[in-house]
């Protein structure tokens, strides 16, 4: 039972990370508000938060690089 729950959590995090990779700055802002709610209500584990945080930082760096190259 626990393994199934862990697998579902991993799939959820992977889906969120896949979404993050395509987000714009506005979408990231909205996503961060939603994810903060999930964190405060305990719907997301610390390990999941860490993985999502890494993906957000990576995406923000990619957007920053694109902006530097365009400007």
pTM: 0.80
Model pLDDT for residues 1-28, shown as the tens digit of each residue = 556 666 677 888 899 999 999 999 999 9
DSSP state of 44: S
Contact 13, 52 (CB under 8 A): yes
Instruction: State whether residue 42 is helix, strand or coil.
Output: coil
Model pLDDT for residues 29-56, shown as the tens digit of each residue = 999 999 999 999 998 888 899 999 999 9
10 Å Cβ neighbour count for 29?
10
pLDDT of residue 6: 67
């Amino acid at each position: 039972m626990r393994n199934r729950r862990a697998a579902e959590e991993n799939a959820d995090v992977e889906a969120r990370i896949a979404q993050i990779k395509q987000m714009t700055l506005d979408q990231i802002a909205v996503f961060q508000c939603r994810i903060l709610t999930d964190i405060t209500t305990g719907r997301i584990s610390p390990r999941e938060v860490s993985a999502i945080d890494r993906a957000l930082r990576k995406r923000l760096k990619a957007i920053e690089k694109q902006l530097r190259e365009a400007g």
